[in-house]
Amino acid sequence: MAKTIKHFINGGHVEGRSGRFGDVYNPATGEVSASLAYASAEDVDTAVKSSLAAFPDWAATPAPRRAGVVFKFRELVIQNIDTLAEIVGREHGKTIEDAKGSIQRGIDVTEFACGVPHLLKGELSPNVGGGIDTFSMREPIGVVGGITPFNFPVMIPCWMGVMAVACGNAFINKPSERDPSAPMFLAELWREAGLPNGIWNVVNGDKDAVNALVTHPDVPAISFVGSTLVGEHVYQTGTALNKRVQAFCGAKNHMVVMPDADMDQAVDALMGAAYGSAGERCMAISVVVPVGEGTAEALNERLVPKVAGLRMGPYNDPEADMGPLITAQAKARVEDYINQGVASGADLLVDGRGASLQGYENGFYVGGTLFDKVTTDMSIYKDEIFGPVLSVARANDFDAAVAMINGNEYANGVAIFTRDGDAARTFTDKVDVGMIGVNVPIPVPMAFHNFGGSKRSKFGDTQMHGPESIRFFTKMKTVSSRWPSGIREGVQYTMPTNR
């Protein structure tokens, strides 16, 4: 009998009162691995009340002591990385090594958060006029909601929640209902690290839980990662209620290959960026733009055998290059896009439809797929497929490649491969994209820099992790003070100045 995954509220596992449940699958086998309790608005309210009760004491805890709890949590994640990777692989489908890599990026942000006493320092301007000192300080904002996606069930809760908690907030995680076990395990590690009950809660479920969290009057801030359709809804709903919202959404990331590029290096980089994690990354390269016909032919000559030779396997197969997709619906969706690409006239060089593995015939596998001569009016170019499908969209020259990128509605990440420094510099100046790689295929910044796209890849003014996260998870107070020192200016009826 499949286990039941509950919610994590006020330091313990609770089933909730909705009476609604959903199935969690092992994507490698297609079998149901667990039953997940879905939260109702009432369950979300219980979590919020728990967080509200715990917040004042945690906010008043000195920042160095909060950092100590974060550091302990970091140590526990490192100690349990094998367990976490196993949990991620079993419910998401990505390989163990890929899972560990994503967990490490969560650890990186946790290490950054350990420096929160320095990051929260305010500013002081002594004697701005008339013996008045002005200083600013950052304070936590309260209960923060974090809506996290299925593709990084450890990394994204760390990117959001660790920073929120380090700043003195309470955090309520609504993870994806497709792979909830890893976020639940993180909550247990926080409890072991000494985080007070109620400061890290987890409510599982579907859109009912999302809407209850986004509209709750006692949740002043929401951080979201997921699809553009849902992210825009979260952003518009939350901001209409005067909440602080950041929503990181869909992508259609391009990689430009110039004629002078090291073609072998570019192809190796492209294979990992396009097909790693079966393409289920918001920073995956899904469009490669070779500049010039000769570049396109040289690229395809190397790509076709590598894509055709991609090895699929279950998450615990050490020889697998990529695992299955997350659900049967995801598999059907990706294969439908491949059908659309064929129907629209693109050249299908490698076909990943109908993939099946002996012993895993019911798994949600799609093989590596490669299209050539893709144009910007095709759905396989315009839409985020979120699967192992790479489109070759040829450009006649550098300017045409830049115009193609800037004409796309998404602007998460982009890369250029070239030996020409002038071309690289011009590219970084001209493309309207949030994160840019020069001979780097997936330009995700390290934890001490900021992560985020632009256009319809992000809603809101702030970025993820790095210094921007401190600004999102805190509010500013500015104080002007003067102590009696014999200064008497008498009554003033005009605007005070420093004159």
Looking from the CA of 65 toward its CB, the CA atoms found within 13 Å total 10
Distance CA 386, CA 147 (A): 19
Return the structure tokens found at 85. 């990777």
Name the residues annotated as catalytic. Answer: 282
b/e burial code for range 397-433 (CB count within 10 A of at least 16 → b): ebeebbebbeebebbbbbbbbbeeeebbeebeeebeb
Contacts of 302 (CB under 8 A, 6+ apart): 263, 264, 267
Helix axes 41-60, 207-215, angle to 10 degrees: 50
Q: Give dist(CA 322, CA 296) in Å, integer.
A: 25
Q: Decide: 368 and 388 in contact? Cβ < 8 Å.
A: yes
- Enumerate residues 6+ apart whose C-beta is below 8 A from 289: 254, 255, 256, 257, 393, 394, 395, 401, 404, 405
Instruction: Please state, in angstroms and as integers, the Cα–Cα distance from residue 197 to each residue in 131, 202, 487, following that order.
Output: 45, 12, 50
Angle at which helices 81-92 and 63-79 pack, to 10 degrees? 70
Q: Phi and psi (nearest 5°) for 143? A: -95, 120
- For residues 444 and 490, the answer to whether their CB atoms sit within 8 Å is no
Q: Which helix (H) or strand (E) holds 140?
A: strand 132-140
Listed residue (66, 59, 147) closest to 113, CA to CA: 66
Give the separation between CA 391 and CA 287, rounded to whole angstroms: 5
Residue environment code for 53-74, b if the CB has 16+ CB neighbours within 10 A, otherwise e: ebbeebbebebeebbebbebbb
Rounded Cα distance between 414 and 252, Å, is 9
What residues contact residue 294 under an 8 Å CB cut-off, 6+ apart? 259
* DSSP β-bridge partners for residue 117: none
Half-sphere exposure of 313 (CA within 13 A, CB side): 14
Cα distance between residue 422 and residue 81, in whole Å: 42
Q: Strand pairing of 20-26 and 31-38? A: antiparallel
CB 148 within 8 A of CB 175: yes
